[in-house]
Amino acid sequence: MTVDPILMTLMSLAVLAGVVLLRWVAAKPWWPLHPGGSRGYLRDVATVWSPLLMLLAAGLAYRVLIGNDPAASGQPIYLGLFVVAYLGVIVARRVGPVRQAQLSLEAARPVSAGEVRKEAV
């Protein structure tokens, strides 16, 4: 029994959205410490998890391409597809808006009870 690649990708997106919402709700005490409030915290959490969309796109491309020719599943080009997507995730987490969102989330977390990091200001 095979599952449609689009359906599998949509299920993966639903799991990813669930993880983002769970992380957002679990951090409710930190919302007031974030410069954007609860909405800004949610935006930053979604931004931090967004690079995983590259891996989902690579998985969808792999399933669509293999669906047309299952004998080609051992080709090195498909391994390269995932390597490029994984490297994209690593680079995205280290530069640009994802890194800024990570720093913003870290700054909103108290170091200890009632204390806020100086970078948050």
What are the tokens at 60? 């969808």
The DSSP code for 27 is: T
DSSP 8-state symbol, 43: H
Collapse the DSSP code of 111 into the 3-class scheme (helix H, G, I; strand E, B; otherwise coil) and give the result.
coil
Tokens in use for 9? 């990708």
pTM of full prediction above 0.75: yes
Helix (H, G, I), strand (E, B) or coil at 114: coil
| Residue 1 pLDDT level (bands cut at 50, 70, 90) | very low
Is residue 119's pLDDT more than 60?
no
